[in-house]
Structure 1
Amino acid sequence: SSRPVRLGKGQGVGIAPVVTRLGKALDRQPDPPEHVGLGKGVQGRGTPGISHQDPLEPLDWRQVLVLGLDGAGKSSVLHYICSQTARERIAPTHGFNSVQLYVEGLEMDLLEVGGSQNLRAYWPHYLSQADVLVFVVDSVDRSRLLTARQELHTLLAAEPRLPLIVLANKQDKSDALSAAELQEELALHTLSEQRELFLLPTSATWASLSTATSVLRVKNLLVTLLSQP
């Protein structure tokens, strides 16, 4: 199925779980390299469904941490969620991306940390201030699935209640593993009783924005999760 599968706290399909905000203040985080890629302050102007709030109206701030191995498609996911504009090529992130979306009274800060081996050491420092973790997996890259699983489970052991959205990305490729296969490969069944957990097949390409694997479904799910009190 191409619909988001809810795996945590009861089996079934759906995108409207009751989620308590679990983010905590981060006392100190490391000084990151300069932001690259989309950069600070991208607000998705002109994107359907994005609200431009009265500057005097307080916004409910939430942070979404976007992680995954290098090459998984994190930057492409952010680009098409936020701008919905065609790009022939999206450069990989070698440092950090911070992108802001204003949707339905929420200010969502989507923080992407690069997935190369040296940058993965930074990942745990950003967990404690996150309200949701989005973990992007390359559905074609079978050779590194074990590494992806190990990195993901190491993160989740540190934050056992942090809501998780796993994106089975690059579903447009003919040799992509299905979401069900990735659920097994990533051992997500071992987490189902610990947290709110969703698995979505996605394709972060311009051609796929109107398809069942559109990354816009990720934005809708995030709004649903983060709008809970």
Structure 2
Amino acid sequence: MYLPKVLLLIYVVDSADHARLPVAKQLLHQLIQNNSTLPVVVLANKQDLEGAYCIADIHDALALYDTGDNRKVFLIGTHVAEDGSEISSNMKDAKELIAQLVLEAQ
């Protein structure tokens, strides 16, 4: 209902939750199927956990190669310190990317 009004989709997945990635893939593709140009930023969170999928594995698990030729798709590995005291450089990069994409879409 709200998706036609958005400028970009920010989609967060748990890199360490292997069992839920097929569901995450299905839902992502359902969300974007009716808008072939909506930019997508995927944040692969919890990259710091043991057993977390690497970025290449997340890319394959979500079938990001199959999101359309006219779509900007970005995949960024992220993590946040447990006490929230540290913001990783990847999170800062994600913030800057999102701000840039919003400006471009307006």
Settle same-fold status: TM greater than 0.5: yes
Equivalent in 153, 159, 183 of residue 29 of structure 2:
153
Q: Which runs of 4+ in 1 moved over 2 A?
A: 204-208
Q: Could you say which residue in structure 2 is the equivalent of 1:186?
A: 62
| RMSD of aligned alpha carbons | 1.5
List gaps (5 residues or longer) in structure 2: none
The residue matched to 1:221 in structure 2 has which SS?
helix
Deviation at 1:135, TM superposition (A): 0.4
Deviation at 1:204, TM superposition (A): 3.0
- Which structure has the bigger radius of gyration? 1
Equivalent in 30, 40, 55 of residue 164 of structure 1:
40
Q: Could you say which residue in structure 2 is the equivalent of 1:177?
A: 53
Question: Structure 1 residues 166, 137: CA separation in 2 closer, same or farther (over 3 Å shift)?
Answer: same
Deviation at 1:194, TM superposition (A): 3.0
- Paired with 1:165 and 1:208, the residues of 2 have a C-alpha distance of 22
- Paired with 1:153 and 1:208, the residues of 2 have a C-alpha distance of 32
Q: Could you say which residue in structure 1 is the equivalent of 2:74?
A: 198
Would you say 1:227 and 2:103 are equivalent positions? Answer: yes
- Paired with 1:201 and 1:208, the residues of 2 have a C-alpha distance of 15
Relative to its length, the structure with more strand (as a share) is 1
TM-score for the superposition, normalised by structure 2: 0.88
CA displacement 1:199-228 (0-9 Å, x = unmatched): 10011332541x343x22221111111222
Q: Could you say which residue in structure 1 is the equivalent of 2:2?
A: 126
Q: Within 5 A, what are the aligned runs for 1:1-229?
A: 125-205=1-81, 206-209=84-87, 211-213=88-90, 215-228=91-104
Q: Give the letter for the 1:220 counterpart.
A: E
CA displacement 1:131-160 (0-9 Å, x = unmatched): 010000000000111100000001110222
CA displacement 1:107-154 (0-9 Å, x = unmatched): xxxxxxxxxxxxxxxxxx110110010000000000111100000001
List gaps (5 residues or longer) in structure 1: 1-124
The residue matched to 1:227 in structure 2 has which SS?
helix
Q: Could you say which residue in structure 2 is the equivalent of 1:36?
A: none
Q: Give the letter for the 1:217 counterpart.
A: D
TM-score for the superposition, normalised by structure 1: 0.42
- Paired with 2:51 and 2:86, the residues of 1 have a C-alpha distance of 17
Relative to its length, the structure with more helix (as a share) is 2
Contact 2:8 2:41 (C-alpha < 8 Å) held by counterparts: yes
